[in-house]
Amino acid sequence: MTEPLTRGAFNQARAAATLASRRDSRILAVVSVALGVFQLIFLRWADAHLERGLKLSIALPAFVIYITVVGVLLWRMERRKRSLAPICPQCGAKLIGLSERVAAATGKCDSCGGIVVDEDHADRPSVGRPTPGSFSE
């Protein structure tokens, strides 16, 4: 059990997870489209230049490799998303998807009800209530 995150730290963790997820989806999109287009071009070419048996013996393993590559990229993307997700300091639950949005809106964990975001200890004491000594000058 650790201290609740400040709002700033929580937002920073969310932003880092979102950024990584966006980058991973872009890589996934580029790789899957590029490999897909390459396969289509190959099939077109093979229709004209290769006999059916040879064409299939190349195209089928290539398709299996394509599915495997896309699957591995998806798996890595999901794993990274989970590893970067903010964690409930009370119960250790990963705050992903709906849980993350609930924590952002309420500051609480939807699994245990514990405080995730400590709104009382703002990162910028100049905003909100004055800190001791701020009126001494």
The residues of the shown chain that bind Zn ion, judged by CB under 5 A, are: 88, 90-91, 93, 109, 111-112, 114
- C-alpha dist (Å) from residue 54 to 49, 51, 60, 90, 126: 10, 6, 10, 60, 72
Complex with Zn ion: residue 43 or 114, whichever CB lies closer: 114
Q: Is 122 helix (H, G, I), strand (E, B) or coil?
A: coil
Smallest separation (angstroms) from Zn ion to the CB of 21:
22
Token pair recorded at residue 96 = 């992903």
DSSP annotation of 3 reads P
Complex with Zn ion: residue 24 or 109, whichever CB lies closer: 109
Distance CA 58, CA 39 (A): 10
Smallest separation (angstroms) from Zn ion to the CB of 113:
7
Smallest separation (angstroms) from Zn ion to the CB of 112:
3
Return the closest-CA partner of residue 94 out of 116, 123, 120. 116
Smallest separation (angstroms) from Zn ion to the CB of 19:
24
Complex with Zn ion: residue 4 or 24, whichever CB lies closer: 4
Complex with Zn ion: residue 85 or 93, whichever CB lies closer: 93
